[in-house]
Amino acid sequence: MSELKALLFDVDGTLADTEKDGHRVAFNLAFKQAGLDWDWDAALYGELLAVTGGKERIKFYLDKFNTRFTKPADLDGFVKGLHASKTEFYTQLLAEGKIPLRSGVARLINEARQAGLRLAIATTTTPENVTALLTHTLGADSLNWFEVIAAGDSVPAKKPAPDIFTWALAKMKLQPNEAIAFEDSRNGILSSKAAGLKTIITVNGYTAKDDFSQAELVLDQMGDPLNVFRVIKGEVGHRTYLDLSLVKQVFYAG
C-alpha cells in the first residue's frame, strides 16, 4: 500500500475565497486605471472562470463578451500590462487583510506540518499572488513551508490539463499515489484526476454546482470544531471538520 507523503493545494477558491472579492475587484481596479469602461460583475466573472489564468481570462472576455472592443496590435503586451496592474491591486487587497483564508485551512496546514507531511502549491495564479496570500495570512515564514510552489506559467498548459500537478510531483520526486490534492473547481479536479491524484473538494459560491463525481470527498468547507462542514459527497463517519485523520482516511480508502 502506498504511503501518504504530501498534500498539494490549489489556491484560488481553495485556500481563500479570492475570486469574487479579490481577483474580480482587482481586475476592475486595473481596468479603471487603464481608462477602460469594462466592469466584471459577480455574474459575469462566474462565466469568465470557465477559463483558467488571468491573462487567458482577459482574452476570453474580449473574444466572447466584448467583441466590439478594438484590440491593439500588440494584444499580448496589452493584456500582460493589464494583468500586471491587476496583480498589484490584488496584492494591495491582501495587505489590507480583505482576503482571509477559508475556514480550517490554516489548522489543516499546521496539522500536516506537525505530522511531517510535505506541502506544495499547484495553481494557475501567478507566483506573486501566491506569495502575497501566504505572507499576509500565514506569515512570511510560510513560504518555506511549501516545498514546491507550482504557479502561473510554470507549465504552458493550465488546468484542466494535468501539467501543473505532474510538474509539482516531479519536482518533489513523488508518484501520484503518494499525495492527495485539494481543489475547488471543475477545471481543478479535471487537472488533479488526470494527474492520477485522489482529490478532496471544498466548493465555493462559484463552483457549488460543478460536477465533482470524480472526487473522493466533497465538502462545503474544511471547517473547524465550532464551524462544522456540510458533506456533499463521501463518507466522514462522526467527523464534523476536515482534519488530518480524515484526509488519511480518504487517501487510504479503496
Would you name the residues annotated as active-site residues?
10, 12
Contacts of 80 (CB under 8 A, 6+ apart): 55
**Residue 232 is placed in which grid cell?**
456533499
Place of cell 485539494: 182
Contacts of 72 (CB under 8 A, 6+ apart): 78
Place of cell 482529490: 199
How many other C-beta atoms can be found within 10 angstroms of the C-beta atom of residue 124?
27
Q: What is the DSSP letter of 155?
A: S
Please tell me the distance from the alpha carbon of residue 128 to that of residue 26, in angstroms, as a whole number.
14
**Residue 104 is placed in which grid cell?**
480550517
Which segments of 91-235 are extended strands (E)?
118-122, 148-150, 179-183, 198-202, 217-219, 231-233
Nearest C-alpha neighbor of 221 from the set 207, 202, 199, 246: 202
